[in-house]
Chain A
């Protein structure tokens, strides 16, 4: 009895009991499962976001004057932001397109980009869970207004002059700058407009309307 009450004997008795063996086996199995589950650290939702902000990095001050009017030689200052939550670095391209009121824009449902050629492109490698902010400065360099029609012939985007545009519109004189987010597909080696998001696809684009005057 005296021998049985000694602490070492008590510990030995506890560790060799069938109860301890059962509890240890269960705890070990649970911890092992948790450790294995922790090995796969891929994020649940994978997505990229695109947002176009005004000159003050807020959703305001998009135009140099009230009502969205822009005159020749006036500059639009925006900030385009891309946030990456794809679980790894993403090589992305921002493509800027100029469309009139009737030209086809991107298709959200089918995840198709606008068929219009882009005027400007900027590429960047965005780390995972990071935001890239790109300032965009657009100047309407050559605007022709005749007989109620407005034609933008030349613009400057971030110092790069693009001429011979000849994008015309009717009386409304409304134009759209479409900003599309493209990502580099490693398998094909090309930039593509969509990304895989679970069973579905994702795409992102913004559109800002201006009134030429």
Chain B
């Protein structure tokens, strides 16, 4: 219940604040702040997906790639994009795609985790308890009957010696 509430909260926050960068933002120099805000949301969504048990390795790689693009824009040293604006736009788009994708993989992972938990509590726990219990009772009964037979043999032996 708590995890569902957290997911709704993250979705609401993500939906309300992330945005794509337009020409005005690039011109006024607010682009870095916008990318950082998008990075913050991408980070939150990666963490939410991770908490639900999803594999976030590809999202992590893309997040770091977006950081690299942002760094290129800051340093004015371009290797994988051709200029400041292009680097910023690419970084922001990459982070936005992380936000979208992480919400999808989070849903899948949550469903998978719930199914696995259901299977554990309704199948694995009862079945393994049953098998172990049968084994214990059978072993106990066999030990008890062997002891009884041993005792009977002792009694017969005693009668014969008399």
Chain A interface residues toward B at CB < 8 A = 14-15, 17, 19-20, 23-24, 27-28, 31-32, 35, 39, 88-89, 91, 122-125, 127-128, 159-160, 184, 186, 189
Name which residue of chain A comes closest to B121, CB basis.
A35
Q: Give the residues from 104 to 118 in chain B that come closer than 8 angstroms, CB to CB, to chain A.
A: 117
- A sample of 11 more A-B contacts (CB under 8 A), given A28-B126, A128-B50, is A14-B137, A14-B138, A17-B137, A19-B140, A20-B133, A28-B125, A35-B120, A89-B60, A124-B67, A125-B60, A189-B40
| Closest CB in chain B relative to A120 CB, distance in Å | 11
| Closest CB in chain B relative to A82 CB, distance in Å | 13
Contact across chains for A23 and B136 when beta carbons are under 8 A apart: yes
A124 surroundings in chain B (CB, below 8 A): 64, 67
A127 contact from B60, B67, B75, B137, Cβ within 8 A: B60
Name which residue of chain A comes closest to B51, CB basis.
A88
| Closest CB in chain B relative to A30 CB, distance in Å | 8
- A contact face: mostly helix, strand, loop, or mixed: mixed
Chain B interface residues toward A at CB < 8 A = 40, 43-44, 46-47, 50-51, 56-57, 60, 63-64, 67, 71, 75, 77, 117, 120-121, 124-126, 128-130, 132-134, 136-138, 140-141
> Can you name 5 A-B residue pairings with CB atoms under 8 Å?
A14-B134, A20-B133, A20-B134, A125-B67, A186-B47
Counting from the closest, the 7 A-B pairs by CB-CB distance are A24-B133, A28-B129, A27-B129, A23-B133, A31-B125, A125-B63, A20-B137
A119 to B44, CA, bound (A): 28
**A-B contact count, CB below 8 Å?**
67
B46 surroundings in chain A (CB, below 8 A): 89, 125
A122 to B71, CA, bound (A): 9
B64 surroundings in chain A (CB, below 8 A): 124-125
A87 to B136, CA, bound (A): 39
Identify which of A14, A35, A125 gathers the most chain B CB atoms within 10 Å of its CB.
Answer: A125
| Closest CB in chain B relative to A92 CB, distance in Å | 11
B121 surroundings in chain A (CB, below 8 A): 32, 35
Contact across chains for B125 and A160 when beta carbons are under 8 A apart: no
B57 surroundings in chain A (CB, below 8 A): 127
Contact across chains for B130 and A89 when beta carbons are under 8 A apart: no
A89 to B161, CA, bound (A): 80
| Closest CB in chain B relative to A26 CB, distance in Å | 8
A17 to B134, CA, bound (A): 11
Contact across chains for B43 and A31 when beta carbons are under 8 A apart: no
A19 surroundings in chain B (CB, below 8 A): 137, 140
| Closest CB in chain B relative to A105 CB, distance in Å | 27
A189 surroundings in chain B (CB, below 8 A): 40
A28 surroundings in chain B (CB, below 8 A): 125-126, 129
Given A125-B43, A125-B63, A186-B44: A27 in contact with B75 (beta carbons within 8 A): no
